Amino acid sequence: MLSQVESGAVDCGVVYISDSAAATGVKVVATAPEGSHKPVNYPAAVLKISEHPTEAVAFIDYLKSDACSKVFTDIGFGIPAK
């Protein structure tokens, strides 16, 4: 949807606020009221068959770090559970 709004193929669309933060030439004109929807969760996990489990755990640890939490909040995401 966002790419269609950016390209002008449609006049408006409903997208995640975090997606709109990276958009060019798109103006946010309304947001859903706080509490009007359930939180959107993006899970992260290390697969049992991972060929690089140490690196995968390190990446998940980074996602839970203070540095990454700032990036998440700057673009409209909540902070992952630690």
| Percentage helix, strand, coil for the chain under 3-state DSSP, each rounded to 5 | 40, 0, 60
Domain count, the chain: 2
pLDDT in tens, 10-66: 999 999 887 888 888 888 999 989 889 888 888 899 999 999 999 999 999 999 899
Answer yes or no: is pLDDT of 81 > 80.
Answer: no
pTM: 0.63
Considering the domain architecture, whether residues 45 and 77 belong to the same structural domain is answered as: yes
Considering the domain architecture, whether residues 58 and 77 belong to the same structural domain is answered as: yes
Please tell me the predicted confidence (pLDDT) of residue 16: 86
* Angstrom distance (rounded) from CA 39 to CA 55: 28
- Domain ranges, residue 53: 41-82
Please tell me the predicted confidence (pLDDT) of residue 47: 96
